[in-house]
Amino acid sequence: MLFKLLDLAGTFAFAISGAVAARQKKLDLFGIITIAYMVACGGGIMRDLCIGAIPPAGLVDWRYLALSLVASMLAIAVYPVLQRLDHPVQMFDALGLGFFAVFGAHKALAYGHNVQVAIVLGVVSAVGGGAMRDVLLNRTPLILRKEIYASAALLAATLQVSGEQLELPADWLPWFGIVLCFGLRYLAMRYHWNLPRFPRGNG
Amino acid sequence: MLFKLLDLAGTFAFAISGAVAARQKKLDLFGIITIAYMVACGGGIMRDLCIGAIPPAGLVDWRYLALSLVASMLAIAVYPVLQRLDHPVQMFDALGLGFFAVFGAHKALAYGHNVQVAIVLGVVSAVGGGAMRDVLLNRTPLILRKEIYASAALLAATLQVSGEQLELPADWLPWFGIVLCFGLRYLAMRYHWNLPRFPRGNG
Amino acid sequence: MLFKLLDLAGTFAFAISGAVAARQKKLDLFGIITIAYMVACGGGIMRDLCIGAIPPAGLVDWRYLALSLVASMLAIAVYPVLQRLDHPVQMFDALGLGFFAVFGAHKALAYGHNVQVAIVLGVVSAVGGGAMRDVLLNRTPLILRKEIYASAALLAATLQVSGEQLELPADWLPWFGIVLCFGLRYLAMRYHWNLPRFPRGNG
């Protein structure tokens, strides 16, 4: 139950981030809904295609599409409110990030795939939708350029996979990854942590 | 028979729109053929991956590739003629749009998927190739920014899915969606209808 | 054995080309590793999704990820050395191109698909990763704009598929495509051969 709530809260935060970005790029109504839905479900769809979960969950479950529609309506109707709520939305986004990474890794293991597949696809579940948003909005994905974002998802996916290998109890294991991912992401936003980048010209 | 003709006419119109856009962006011979093929088949390939129709029909049927080659040759050899024929090409494109949306939705239902999957994948079949073209040509997809295009496909897919749910007779049901999609698209082009867009700064 | 070596050498060359491009675009550490991995494995993952080889080999085999990590470290630590080694890296890249085209076409045939699927997916295996790199780095893929690159892969895939249709002996057939692809690519680089492009305005 709490898990389902977390899933929907994370999806909603992802959809809002997509709808806001689409509105800023002046897309039309269809474009805003599409980008919102894609951020919310794109990563999970990529994961499901790779593990053979056909059709992808993001297409089957009407709640994801419904949440994307609501997020789009909010981005259209109460944009200034959303901007004022930027901080809570980012908090939900960080929760969703950890949840999707943990759940994605778990689903890949449950389909019988190996440790590496699970970790990579956990990260893909969490950040794939955002990367698709940036590609469609014609910019190099933010997650490849700065911020500790994908790395937090990598941490969560790795913890989940390691825990399942060690057969830690399934009722609290997921929280471990979700909370640490959330904490890392919170600190990275608070103190503007970035991964290292390197000058262009010389080593 | 008429259906197969419609499929090939729509594919050809899609391929021509791809080849012309690729030539305008000064791609080389391989680039023109690739973009033509991708506009013609990209949406259907995405749909087939999501419904588990492996290998995708766009890869298996040599006629799609052949039509893409012919469209590319035309875009190279008789470009000014194509520009003069812009209006008929857009008519075929609108026919193809409706056909692909209806056929894509029908195929998803035939593979046993639910109503939502069928509608979303009907739209993806119809507009996915064009979106891939725009991503490769490094611009935000036109369908997300303006024109009633994807919305016409959405109408066609929804009509088809509703009709199949109501078990309307399969011999004239598809025409319903195709004709209404074509009509909406025609009126949108004729009178420059757009979906609403929203100012960037305030709600 | 020699085949496995060729696979790893090609993968490594592809990963280095990705890591170097990512560093030039000033991506962060995660971005460099992601692009390196994507160039190395992206084309093969697209091929595997289309032929139903789930999960894709590029996700399962830890060596591809490991090579991408090493390539990224090299691009970070000894960038000037890599720039001096540009020529050998391009040689390995040309070898990898031929190998991936031949192997991709062979794998599609081995999964029971037809000749056209095998040729198209052979080319996709060889050039898909590079195209994904360019899309993420926000530029129109180089292979669509200039150089005889995808065409060399097309030659290799076509030779392999024709050879398997004619039941030529499997121990030397692959070398035929690999060597001719390498030779064509070498000559194209040496003498700056390009495919034809066409002026924008008139036919």
If you write DSSP's letter for every residue of B71-118 in order, what string do you get? Answer: HHHHHHH-HHHHHHTHHHHHHHHHHHHHHHHHHHHHHHHHTT--HHHH
- pLDDT at residue B203 is higher than 50: no
* Nearest residue in C to B21, CA atom: C200
What are the chain B neighbours of C116 within 8 Å (beta carbons)? 59-60, 62, 65
Q: Which range is most confident: A75-84, B37-46, B80-89, C19-28?
A: B37-46
Confidence of residue C203 (pLDDT cuts 50, 70, 90): very low
Residues 131-150 of B with CB under 8 A from A: 131, 135, 138-141, 143-146, 150
Is C77 part of any domain? yes
- Is the CB of A194 less than 8 angstroms away from the CB of C28? yes
Across the interface, whether the CB atoms of C23 and A198 are under 8 A apart is answered yes
Residue of C nearest to B31 (CA): C144
The pLDDT of residue B105 is above 80: yes
Residue-level pLDDT at C114: 92
B50, B135, B195 member nearest A30 (Cβ): B195
Q: Exposure of B17 by Cβ count < 10 A (0-12 exposed, 13-18 middle, 19+ buried)?
A: buried
Domain extent for C123: 2-191
Which residue of A lies nearest to B122 if distances are taken between CA atoms? A59
Residue with tokens 């000749």: C115
Point out the residue among A25, A28, A54 whose CB comes nearest to the CB of B146. Answer: A28
Q: Which residues of A166-199 are buried (b: 16+ CB within 10 A; e: fewer)?
A: eeeeeeebbebbbeebbebbeebbeeeeebebbe
Please say if the pLDDT value at position A71 is more than 70. yes
Whether A36 is covered by a domain: the verdict is: yes
Q: Does B168 touch chain C (CB under 8 A)?
A: no
Q: Does B117 touch chain A (CB under 8 A)?
A: yes
Chain B residues inside the 8 Å CB shell of C145: 26-28, 31
Is residue C200, in this structure, part of any structural domain at all?
no
Nearest to B136 among C114, C140, C200 (CB): C140
Give the other-Cβ count within 10 Å of C181's Cβ.
29
Question: Is residue B99, in this structure, part of any structural domain at all?
Answer: yes
Beta bridge partners of C40: none
Q: What is the mean pLDDT of residues B93-108?
A: 90
Q: Is C63 a domain residue?
A: yes
| Residue B67 maps to a domain | yes
Q: Is the pLDDT of residue A115 over 90?
A: yes
pLDDT in tens, A146-190: 678 889 999 999 999 999 999 888 888 888 999 999 999 889 888
**Chain A to chain C Cβ contacts (< 8 Å):** 81
Q: Do A202 and C80 touch (CB under 8 A)?
A: yes
Instruction: Tally the domains of chain B.
Output: 1
Does B25 contact chain A (CB < 8 Å)?
no
Percent of chain C with pLDDT over 70: 97
Q: How far is A132 from chain B (nearest CA, A)?
A: 10
CA distance C110 to chain A (A): 20
Is the pLDDT confidence value at A203 over 60?
no
Task: Tell me the average pLDDT across C57-74.
Answer: 92
Torsion from C-alpha of C118, C124, C125, C131, nearest 10 degrees: 180
Residue C101 near chain B (CB below 8 Å): no
* pLDDT score, position A1: 67
* Residue B131 confidence (pLDDT) above 50: yes
C77·A203 Cβ contact <8 A? yes
Nearest to B197 among A28, A34, A135 (CB): A28
pLDDT score of A19 more than 70: yes
In a domain, B53, yes or no: yes
Nearby residues of B112 by Cβ (< 8 Å), 6 or more positions away? none
**Does A121 reside within a domain?**
yes
